[in-house]
Amino acid sequence: MRAVDIIEKKKKNQELSKEEIDFLLEGYLKEEIPDYQMSSFLMAVYFNNMTKEELTYFTLKMRDSGDTIFFNNLDYYLVDKHSTGGVGDKVTVVLGPILSAVGMATTKLSGKGLGHTGGTIDKFESIENFKFSVTKEELVEIANKTGVGLMGYSDNIVPLDKKIYALRDVTATVDSIPLIASSIMSKKLAIQSKLIILDVKVGDGAFMKTIEDARELSRRMVEIGNSVGRKTIAVLTNMEEPLGYSIGNANEIIEGIEALKGNWSNDLKEVVYEIVYLALKHKGEVETFEQASKIIDNVIANGKALELLKEFIELSGGNGEVVNDYSLLPTPKSVLEVYSNEEGYITKIKAEEIGKAAMVIGAGRATKEDEVDHAVGLLLKKKVGDKVQVGDLIAEIYYNDSKNIESSKNMVLDAFVVGKNKVENIKNILEIIE
């Protein structure tokens, strides 16, 4: 068997056998197949796609290139929620404690942010001395006590994905839907769960800009999960404007804590409640969204979810009192207020532009090697549909270094689109695929 013949076959849009996929991926992992041949194969996939059978086996082969995490002594209904990344996406901060409070547990791998999208690890690491679990034993211990099991990505988990992604990054094949689906699902299947819920962001601030692309990616991922016996649901959610009001790291932790105290932004609440409802429904505990809402309302009102977040932070090395004292979080040296120079109704807030405005002042990474400043970020004072006058405060920029502050301010001003007519409220749950 030769790599060139496998490339030729995929170039002609023919289905690969399991043996051919084995040969290609094992050879690449062992460095017996060079980058230039794998690059050629990836481009063939970009243009010719993969069949359901090919993609499922390709994904399992990726998963099995490294460690898999299964729990023999974690007696919970395990839910793994994954987000494809967005601006202001602090869903995991809020979701984990709520799922635990209603009798389930979160077991998931979390990543760092790159570009204009934030990562869950960066948010939690804004809490002094907080450390994510790095071993299965640490994960199980904390999840057993709190129901929240979050672990950073390890080089030992799906190493083939890391190797192939680095190649995709420099060969213009990052935006291949089957390759994105395989990359995400290989990591989801590497850690045990009863249910995988995929929060697929759609719109300006998301990787998937159109509903058609998001739908296709969701369909492929759900297909992979369900075909190997892991119940998988995709929730397509809006990312035409940032989620919630805070963008950054420490300030997103604050917004997450406030949500667990009942002080929600409507869009964040809608997304979190929908995901918890789907989890409760598939566990068999509720039939309707209204039933799930009452259960969630109760664990917010009685403080159970907030207490579980506090305990999770403490067991992870951080100071749990941060849920009551935000001064324990990093604070910026300066605040720049941004005022509207137009009158009318906000018809759009360009999420990607807001994400970039936060990134250039240090809240995100332009490259994987960049350091994040956990204290900096943005606080939106207006959302789509709000009325504004000239001179109204529309955002605050929290910063430590003034180097890019004017650029950040201009990005914020450009992001706020003002029109004469009030727009309808944005729908945050766009579609469910299962």
Q: DSSP of 85-145, one letter per residue?
A: --TT--HHHHHHHHHHHTTEEEEEEE---BBTB--HHHHHTTSTT---B-SHHHHHHHHHH
Give helix then strand counts, H and E, for the chain.
16, 13
The H or E element containing residue 266 is: helix 266-283
* The pLDDT value given to residue 118: 64
Q: 61, 63, 81, 82: which one is catalytic?
A: 82
For 39-94, the pLDDT digits (tens) are: 999 999 999 999 999 999 999 999 999 989 888 777 889 999 999 988 999 999 99
Q: 63, 108, 116, 187: which one is catalytic?
A: 187
* The pLDDT value given to residue 190: 93
- Please say whether the beta carbons of 201 and 83 come within 8 A: yes
CA 61, 66, 72, 76 dihedral sign is negative
The residue among 282, 219, 251 whose CA lies nearest residue 396 is 251
Query: Is 187 a catalytic site residue?
Result: yes
Q: How confident is the model at residue 139 (pLDDT cuts 50, 70, 90)?
A: confident
Give ∠ CA 86-91-97 in degrees, rounded to 5. Answer: 160
Helix, strand, coil percent values for the chain (each to nearest 5)? 45, 20, 35
Encoded amino acid at 43, one letter? M
> 151: which residues sit within 8 A by CB, 6+ positions away?
69, 108, 109, 110, 132, 133, 134, 138, 139, 191
Query: Is 10 a catalytic site residue?
Result: no
35 token code pair: 């980058």
* The pLDDT value given to residue 121: 86
Q: How far apart are CA 142 and CA 76, in angstroms?
A: 13
Query: Is 168 a catalytic site residue?
Result: yes
Segment 344-371 shows an average pLDDT of 88
113 token code pair: 């942010």
Give 73's DSSP letter: S
Q: Is the pLDDT of residue 135 over 60?
A: yes
Q: Is the pLDDT of residue 396 over 90?
A: yes
What's the chain's average pLDDT?
93
* The pLDDT value given to residue 425: 76
* The pLDDT value given to residue 117: 63
Segment 189-206 shows an average pLDDT of 94
Q: How far apart are CA 17 and CA 42, in angstroms?
A: 16
Q: 40, 110, 133, 183: which one is catalytic?
A: 183
The residue among 276, 326, 340 whose CA lies nearest residue 77 is 276
For 283-323, the pLDDT digits (tens) are: 999 999 999 999 999 999 999 999 999 999 999 999 999 99
Q: 80, 89, 122, 161: which one is catalytic?
A: 161
For 143-185, the pLDDT digits (tens) are: 999 999 888 777 788 999 989 988 998 999 988 999 999 999 9
* The pLDDT value given to residue 24: 97
The residue among 259, 402, 256, 411 whose CA lies nearest residue 332 is 402
122 token code pair: 């960066």
What whole-number percentage of the chain has pLDDT above 90?
82
| Rounded (10°) angle between helices 35-48 and 159-169 | 80
Query: Is 327 a catalytic site residue?
Result: no
Q: 81, 108, 168, 374: which one is catalytic?
A: 168
List strand residue ranges (DSSP E) for 300-423, in order. 334-339, 344-349, 377-380, 387-388, 393-399, 416-419
Q: Is the pLDDT of residue 96 over 90?
A: yes
* The pLDDT value given to residue 353: 96
Beta pairing, strands 77-83 & 104-110: parallel
* The pLDDT value given to residue 97: 97
Q: How far apart are CA 97 and CA 147, in angstroms?
A: 7
Query: Is 370 a catalytic site residue?
Result: no
CB atoms within 10 A of CB 62: 25
- Which residue would you say has higher pLDDT here, 298 or 110? 298
What phi, psi does 243 have (nearest 5°)? -85, 120
> 5: which residues sit within 8 A by CB, 6+ positions away?
none
The residue among 296, 254, 328, 245 whose CA lies nearest residue 95 is 296
* The pLDDT value given to residue 112: 62
* The pLDDT value given to residue 115: 57
Segment 274-280 shows an average pLDDT of 98
332 token code pair: 């910026």
